[in-house]
Structure 1
Amino acid sequence: MIYTITLNPAIDRLVFLEEPLAKRKNNRAREIRYDIGGKGTHGSYAMSKLKVANLALGFAGEQNFAKFTQILAEKAISHQFLAVPDCATRESIILIDPDNLGSAMVTEPSLKVSVKEKQSLLTFLAEHLKPEDMVLVAGSQPEGFELADLKELLTVIQKAGSFLACDLSDEALQLAVELAVDFIKPNEFEIEALIDGQQTIEEKLADLAEKITCIVASRGSKGCLCYYGGNQYKVTAPKVSEINDTGAGDCFVGSFLATFYQTQDIEASLKMASACAASKVQHEDSSFFDVTEANQLIHSVEIQIEEENYAISNRKSSPS
């Protein structure tokens, strides 16, 4: 089983404007849609689209719990979120330009979790996780969920022997690196923040690859670099007309992990993830991609392999 954990989810309110956003003007909307927000839930959506069984976990506010779970149901995402009393899941208002020139986002403050909710999540994981499972922990932390709580969460997953994937930022990413999790997906800016001295990005990634099973470093439209099994994979993404790149990285992670969980084939996983993300950016909302379109785009993904013989030893290379 694959589990995704979204500690701080959101409800995305997509506002499609009639005209470009302007100050001191009544900006009228031509359409409003709702989508799921949060890296882990986007990962679950991609996995579900690829028909790979998964369960979305995390915290959601009791005040708009029905609305949140309704969107999950519409997205066919299996879930078991913990309801947090006396608060609401945050909403993100995304203003989308009619000419696809970009978008503006305003996000509400997060919900606040208590010791009780945190312990409930840890207990669930300790009781259910198995070594053959995969867990994705992705996104930001809500109020009341400190770095020490995140460390405890990641440690519980590692003690279960499950394959631990993290799509985190800032101090949370640094913690994931310190704990030597099995998968990270930083972007160029996040890698630069980890660099000490005069290292290049590729030199830093090579160092990290000595203790982390699989690293995918995103480079936007240029594709990504992957370090796995002693090799470096340079992935060139398909050329497409971009409409909305929001959620493309989450789509990549979900598609990659779903394919890797099923096949343990790194090249197939990179190709599928790149193709799904390329499909995603051609659509308006935050998560949607077309599987048929992705299966066509997969033939345009290029991978260049360089053998580097990184010193990776005594680590599991994939979920069993």
Structure 2
Amino acid sequence: MIYTLTLNPAIDQLLFVKRDVKKRQANRIIRSEWDCGGKGLHVSGVLSQFSIKNEALGIVGSQNRAQLYGILSEKQIAHDFLVQQGERTRTSFVIISEESSGSIMMPESGFAISDANKIALLEQIRQKVTQEDMVVIAGSPPPEFTLADFETLLQTVKATGCFLACDLSGEYLRLAVKLGVDFLKPNEHEIQEILVEESATLTENMRELAKNIRYLVVSLGQHGSYCAHEGKVYRVIAPPVTEKSDTGAGDCFVGAFIAGISEHLPLPEILKRATGCSASKVMHADSSTFSLVEAEILKEQVTIIEVEEM
């Protein structure tokens, strides 16, 4: 089983406008749609599209859980959320222009998780997760979820002996590196937080970091990625596509990558598939849509080169 953990899930309200938003004028909304938000939920959505059994975990608010559950049902995302009474799962407002690429995201902060639910989450992990499973922890924690809380969470997951994948930033990313996880995906800016030696090249740093991280991917956005595994570093060049929105592209990559590992595919095939899925996502306006058909075509346009250090 693959479990995804989203500590601060969201309901995305997608607001489509004709042109880019401008101040001091009415920016009329053409239509509005709803989607699930939060990196872990996006990863679950990708896994479900690949027909890989998975379950989304996390904490949701009682006030609007029916709406979120309805969205998840449409996307065929199985879940077993803890519920915090009297709270509302945050809304993330996403403004999308139909005439230009990119989007504007305005997420709410979310609610603070109660001590009781923090304890319940740890117990849920101990009860559910086994050594044969995979756990994906993605996205930033909610307010008042401390670094100590997060360390306890990571240690609890690691104690099960499962494959642990993380998509984090800031101090949470640094903690994941310190504790050693099986998969990590910082972007080209986040990698600066965890460099081993600033005077060394990116790939030299990746080789060093990969001694404690089985799969280390550094995302370069539209330019592809680097991947370090078993002492080797690969440069992955993404196919050119027409960008509509890059929101969620990284989550799509992670979901497809984890799917490939669970299916025991060769690493080059995993990288091509994940890059193809991410490129497909960029071509769609919302936060989670991608096409398996498009991804299959795009993956054949991905170039992978093994990097040799000088």
Q: Residue 312 of structure 1 aligns with which residue? A: none
Please name the residue that 1:22 is paired with.
Answer: 22
User: In the alignment, what sits opposite 2:239?
Assistant: 238
Aligned amino acid, residue 200 of structure 1: T
Match of 1:165 in 2: 165
Identity %: 45
Residues 19 and 28 in structure 1, CA contact (< 8 A), matched pair in contact too: no
Find the counterpart in structure 2 of residue 129 from structure 1. Answer: 129
Identify which range, 1-10 or 105-114, moves more after superposition: 105-114
Partners in 1 of 2:237 and 2:231 — Cα distance? Answer: 20
Q: Is the 8 A contact 2:203 2:233 kept in 1?
A: no
Aligned to 2:274: 273
Over the aligned positions, Cα root-mean-square deviation in angstroms equals 1.3
2:40–2:137 Cα contact (<8 Å) kept: yes
Residue 52 of structure 1: SS of its match in structure 2?
coil
CA contact (8 A) 2:90 2:109 kept: yes
Deviation per CA, 1:158-192, whole angstroms, max 9, x where unpaired?
Answer: 11100000000000000000001111000111111
1:299 and 2:300 aligned: yes
1:256-271 paired onto structure 2 within 5 Å: 256-271=257-272
> TM (normalized to structure 2)?
0.96
Q: Any conservation in 2 of the 1:247–1:286 contact (CA below 8 Å)?
A: yes
Question: Residue 276 of structure 1: CA displacement?
Answer: 0.5
Secondary structure at the aligned position of 2:222 is classed as helix
Gaps (5+ residues) in structure 2?
none
Deviation at 1:307, TM superposition (A): 6.4
Is 2:201 the partner of 1:200?
Answer: yes
Deviation at 1:264, TM superposition (A): 4.4
1:35-46 matches, within 5 Å, as 35-46=35-46
Alignment partners' CA distance in 1, 2:131 and 2:35: 33
Tell me the equivalent position of 2:254: 253
Amino acid at match of 1:63: Q
- Could you tell me which runs of 5 or more consecutive residues in structure 1 were left unpaired when the two chains were aligned: 309-320
SS at match of 1:33: strand
Alpha-carbon contact 1:114-1:144 (below 8 Å) kept? no
Match of residue 90 from structure 1: 90
CA distance in structure 2 between the partners assigned to 1:115 and 1:144 by the alignment: 10
**Cα shift at 1:211:** 1.1
Matched positions, count: 308
- Please give the alpha-carbon distance, in whole angstroms, between the structure 2 residues aligned to 1:174 and 1:20: 36
Q: Find the counterpart in structure 1 of residue 55 from structure 2.
A: 55
CA shift, 1:202, in A, is 2.0
Offset of 1:102 from its aligned partner?
2.7
SS of 1:100's equivalent in the other structure is coil
Moved more, 25-34 or 161-170: 25-34
Corresponding residue of 1:189? 189
Moved beyond 6 Å, runs of 4+: none
Query: Aligned letter for 2:167?
Result: D
Structure 1 length-normalised TM:
0.93
Measure, in 1, the Cα distance between the counterparts of 2:101 and 2:133.
41
Paired residue type of 1:296: I
Distance 1:266 1:142, change over 3 A: same
Q: Which residue of structure 2 aligns with residue 213 of structure 1?
A: 214
